[in-house]
Amino acid sequence: MELFETRTDATSGHARAMTFQTARGEVHTPMFMPVGTRASVKGILPETLTQLGSQVVLANTYHLFLKPGVDVVEENGGIQKFMNYPGPMLTDSGGFQIFSLADTVKLSDDGVTFASIYDGTKIHWTPEDNMAIQERIGADIAMQLDQCPPYPATREFVERAVDLSAKWARRCLAAHKRPDQALFGIVQGGMHLDLRLESIRRLQETSEESLVAGGRGFDGFGIGGYSVGETHDTMFETLGQVARALPQNKLRYLMGVGNPTTLVRAIHEGVDMFDCVLPTRTGRMGTAFSHEGRLNMRNARFTHDLGPLDPYCDCPVCTQYTRSYLRHLVKVDEMLGGILLSMHNTYFLIDLAAKAREAILADAYEEFYQEWMASPACKDY
């Protein structure tokens, strides 16, 4: 395959099994990406991520820019060498993190001004600055700088966010020069279907203009602005139509979503890629994903349970440790408890996406979907 080529391996209903060529090899979707915000997936060694089946790991431009600084990452040979992860990586632009600090952020067509969370230093980023930073960090996939509106927000606010994100997308694409790094545009529009379709129209227009001028256009598309406080049902009122309005030959990445049932439902609607801090965050809190639903490992019912954490899981945790032992670790606040549960939860989502791919390749995703939706696990997510 050519660099950044996207191949459709199979479809099953709206669900898709895709292959995308990065500079560090092929990745196969559907796919869940562990989040290593500061060049570390909390509680999991980089080499362990590979053992768990991770294909792509996400890092965050905003946080890496602040600490340790782009110079440090660059002098280490880029993000992969810095954290000793051999596979492909993706950097988010940091837009979501910046706009979560709404009280300290100033926006204009030119860019965004924000204060460092560490010392209050004022920082101004243009879309061009953001592209230069992501190119220096060196991930295989970069994301455009965008404005992610909160939920709820007025329609007027969301309209402005769509317009600004579209203008910045054009500038990001023009500024992005690194030939071994893909660039994804980002769809915004809140819960307004018409605004999301307008966002897609403008992204495609920008991409097509780039192609006419001899560029690559966008190599894929993120779907941002979901999972920001709305209910799952509210998200799914528009998500399917949004995903399927994107080009058939480009990856569709639902940003910030890692709930198992949401992942299964979104794949059913045509989404390819996911990321979320949920598996490690819940693991550190003593909660495990399972085919029974969420398991609170502090629960006394696990004290004498000599069975595996999830009998349907073949991760290193489920094949080597009992529920009894894991409960003990969590109850006495041993660090190892959170580490093992984070490993299991991360594997659970990676494996769920891989099994979804197998079902799509067999043209049996509808059966896979219905089985999950009827399972005890579905009601607990």
Burial class (CB in 10 A: 0-12, 13-18, 19+), 128: middle
**Angle 356-361-362 (CA atoms, 0-180°, nearest 5)?**
95
| Residue showing tokens 């602040």 | 66
pLDDT at 44: 98
Domains of the chain, by residue range, sit at 6-276, 283-379
Dist. CA 241–CA 94, nearest whole Å: 26
Nearest Cα residue to 164 out of 174, 150, 154, 149: 149
| Distance, CA of 355 to CA of 190 (rounded, Å) | 30
Given a contact cutoff of 8 angstroms between Cβ atoms, the answer to whether 327 and 298 are in contact is: yes
CATH superfamily of 6-276: Queuine tRNA-ribosyltransferase-like (3.20.20.105)
Residue spans of the chain under pLDDT 70 = none
DSSP at 62: H
Q: What would the two tokens of residue 125 be?
A: 């980023």
At residue 128, the pLDDT reads 99
Q: Which two tokens stand for residue 356?
A: 């979804």
Q: List the catalytic residues.
A: 92, 275
Q: How many residues does the chain have?
A: 381
Residues 6 or more apart whose Cβ sits within 8 Å of residue 191: 151, 230, 234, 235, 237, 238
8 Å CB contact between 298 and 332: no
Specify the 3-state DSSP secondary structure of 254.
strand
Mean pLDDT of the chain: 97
Helix (H) or strand (E) holding 173: helix 155-175
Cα–Cα separations (whole angstroms), residue 281 to 48, 137, 248, 255, 285: 17, 25, 33, 17, 6
The pLDDT, as a whole number, for residue 122 is 94
pTM, full prediction: 0.97
CB atoms within 10 A of CB 210: 18
What residues have CB less than 8 Å from 300, skipping those under 6 apart? none
Within 8 A by CB and 6+ apart from 130, the residues are 61, 93, 94, 144, 145, 172
